[in-house]
Amino acid sequence: MKKRRCLLGCARKGMSLFATNKVLEAECLEAIDDTEWSIWTNYYVDIMRKNPYYEYELVTNNRSLSWFANELKRHQNKTTIS
């Protein structure tokens, strides 16, 4: 949970992968690679901006990108039908 909260904060600040890994290192957390950082900066930040519930799910319940994709699809289908 601590790592995900840290990653979300760094992604929201627009930090680079290098800077983010320095923050993780300072917090005694494992560094991440380019692919994982791209997911945080290109997907998670935008998803969290639109719905605070999703932030809770990401940080607290360790949800994956596929969970978010399914959840967003379900929500879109629900609004389309309504």
pLDDT-derived band at 73, boundaries 50, 70, 90: confident
pTM of the model: 0.80
CA dihedral 77, 78, 80, 82 (to 10 degrees): 160
What is the number of helices (H) and of strands (E) in the chain?
Answer: 6, 0
Q: Is the pLDDT of residue 48 over 80?
A: yes
Check if the beta carbon of residue 5 is closer than 8 Å to that of residue 32: no
